[in-house]
Amino acid sequence: MSRISRRTFNRLVASTAATATISAPFVAHAAKPTVVVVGGGAGGATAARYIAMDSGGAINVVLIEPSKRYYSCFFSNLYLGGFRDYESLGHGYRALAVDHGINVIHDWVTGIDRPGKSVTLSSGAKISYDRLVLSPGIDFKYDSVPGYSAASASIAPHAYKSGTQVQLLKAKTEAMKQGGVFVMVAPPNPYRCPPGPYERISMIASLLKPKNPTAKIIILDPKEKFSKQTLFQSGWDAHYPGMVEWIPASVSGPLESVDLETLSFKTDLENFKADAANIIPAQVAGRIAHQAELVDKSGWCPINPESMQSTFDDNIHVVGDSSIAAAMPKSAFSANSQAKVVANHVRHALTGSREFPARYNNTCWSLIGKDDGVKVGASYKPGDGKIEPTSKFISKPGEDAELRKKTYEESLAWYANLTADMFS
Ligand SMILES: Cc1cc2nc3c(=O)[nH]c(=O)nc-3n(C[C@H](O)[C@H](O)[C@H](O)COP(=O)(O)OP(=O)(O)OC[C@H]3O[C@@H](n4cnc5c(N)ncnc54)[C@H](O)[C@@H]3O)c2cc1C
């Protein structure tokens, strides 16, 4: 062993002491409870932000989301209709990291060790949690549409998840020949954003009408009715007469096959040949929820309505589209509302802060044509084992143009407020 002088020894002792002092806050930080949030969308970003903001540094918050930029599905229909540009849908995570001290990790969670209370990332890293908030959105059952697959989403885009699919769908619609046919295969219940496919039809019609007025739009629907049906159908007649045809399965029979080479759709009654198509398959909870065995037979995650805790695991809260929120539709508004209930509950559980009774809200706005906005919404509270509505409202057919314009403007304010509530 080499000999060291007294001066060197003293310097080493001093520097060790300094290191100890510097690392002291780290030790304290590591002792804080940790909440891991999986998914940086409407549910996850809101939960992470509220837990970090309201706990004033008492909880270590880790947000895991693969994408560096979140492109919202909500308002993506307005991009299709030409009422918004694509970049206005994009949001980054900088403020969550810098202003709220959230440890934002851009990676996939590939495994959840429930007994060990940790998650594994695709990098191989492991992160322990005291509570886990899961908001991974949806996954598709591609084979619910015969012939459709993940690979064929580049031919007939679903455009039903955050990302560039909606740009592809718009490009394909704009490239349709004059008088061409656009076919949408609508999803069965339950699925993300009940009015979403029908607002999309309105926006596709709005895009086509000035440049391709003889184009036809066909909706092949496995459902017998849909959200805001009267409002949409009277709106289509008023704005796009003769352009849109909705065909429920009771009329056409079930969809028997789809030929993606020729974009042909075979039903019991008739064959349809499309020039552009939008196939939205059946949906289930995000894949990681299945891997962690947090789903029931329905493919979605049952929750306790007071706290959004998984009925399979008290340490895990499932929010947003993956959860079974009963009467609450799968929407960004719902996910944001659920995430705030979870934030309050988690802070109470981990720091002893005051807990408020769970209350939830949702409004879904849809744009049918320029300045023609409609809405449906409700308030909710925990009921007998499930979330139940306490009051409801819906726009009425025949409302005057002034009111419809006001409703549309309300939706613009909602988008600005909601995305600020997630990302600012
Ligand atoms: C066309 C369309 C229109 C819509 N319009 C509206 C509207 O007007 N109003 C409204 O309220 N809602 C609307 N919605 C619904 C809304 O987009 C969803 O309900 C909402 O995004 C759900 O939030 P979420 O957090 O559950 O999922 P998402 O917002 O999809 O977030 C899930 C996140 O989890 C991440 N993730 C998934 N798996 C993992 C993993 N293993 N590891 C890490 N991260 C993971 C994903 O990358 C994603 O960013 C619309 C949807 C569509 C498709």
Same domain flag for 6 and 77 = no
pLDDT tens-digit profile of 382-422? 999 999 999 999 999 999 999 999 999 999 999 999 999 99
Q: Which residue has the tokens 């198509």?
A: 277
pLDDT, average across residues 328-342: 98
Q: What is the CATH number of the domain that holds 181?
A: 3.50.50.60
Identify whether 416 is part of a domain: no
Same domain flag for 146 and 270 = yes
Residue in 73, 84, 226, 376 to alter for ligand 1 test, most ligand atoms within 8 A of Cβ: 73
Q: Give the per-residue pLDDT at 19.
A: 32
**What's the total number of domains in the chain?**
3
196 lines ligand 1 (CB under 6 A): yes
Instruction: Give the helix ranges, DSSP H, for 32-142.
Output: 42-55, 76-81, 94-98
Report the share of the chain in percent with pLDDT over 90: 92
The mean pLDDT value of the chain amounts to: 93
Residue range(s) defining the domain that contains residue 348: 32-137+286-357
Q: Measure the CA angle with vertex 92, ends 87 and 93; round to 5°.
A: 170
Identify whether 215 is part of a domain: yes
* Contacts by 191-194, CB closer than 8 A, 24 or more apart: 191/138, 191/280, 191/282, 191/283, 191/330, 192/73, 192/137, 192/138, 192/160, 192/283, 192/321, 192/330, 192/331, 193/73, 193/74, 193/329, 193/330, 193/331, 193/364, 194/226, 194/227, 194/329, 194/330, 194/364
Confidence of residue 163 (pLDDT cuts 50, 70, 90): confident
Same domain flag for 146 and 128 = no
CA gap 221, 254 in Å, rounded: 9
Give distance in angstroms: CA of 55 to centre of ligand 1: 25
Same domain flag for 295 and 344 = yes
Give distance in angstroms: CA of 372 to centre of ligand 1: 25
Q: Higher-confidence residue: 4 or 150?
A: 150
Question: Which residues have CB under 8 Å from 64's CB, separation 6+?
Answer: 36, 37, 38, 39, 40, 105, 107, 108, 109, 119, 121, 127
Atom number in ligand 1 closest to CA 319: 26
Burial class (CB in 10 A: 0-12, 13-18, 19+), 412: middle
- Look at ligand 1, atom 15, and give the residue with the nearest C-alpha: 331
140 lines ligand 1 (CB under 6 A): no
Same domain flag for 148 and 274 = yes
Identify whether 395 is part of a domain: no
Q: What is the H or E stretch that residue 251 is in?
A: helix 249-252
- Look at ligand 1, atom 50, and give the residue with the nearest C-alpha: 74
Give distance in angstroms: CA of 73 to centre of ligand 1: 7
Same domain flag for 297 and 232 = no
**Under 8 Å between Cβ of 30 and 73:** no
316 forms bridges with which residues in the sheet?
132
Last residue of a domain, one of 332, 357, 382: 357
Identify whether 119 is part of a domain: yes
Question: Which residues have CB under 8 Å from 182's CB, separation 6+?
Answer: 173, 176, 204, 208, 215, 216, 217, 218, 274, 275, 276, 277, 278
pLDDT tens-digit profile of 59-103? 999 999 999 999 999 999 999 999 999 999 999 999 999 999 999
Give the full edge-to-edge strand order of the sheet including 264-267.
255-259, 264-267, 271-273
Between the CA of residue 2 and those of 5, 266, what are the distances in Å?
10, 85
Confidence of residue 31 (pLDDT cuts 50, 70, 90): confident
pLDDT tens-digit profile of 267-305? 988 999 999 999 999 999 999 999 999 999 999 999 999
Same domain flag for 229 and 297 = no
Confidence of residue 22 (pLDDT cuts 50, 70, 90): very low
Burial 350-360 (b: 16+ CB within 10 A, else e): beeeeeeebeb
CA gap 273, 181 in Å, rounded: 7
Same domain flag for 188 and 275 = yes
Last residue of a domain, one of 282, 313, 344: 282
377 lines ligand 1 (CB under 6 A): no
Last residue of a domain, one of 238, 258, 282: 282
Which one, of 331, 365, 393, lies nearest residue 42 by Cα? 331
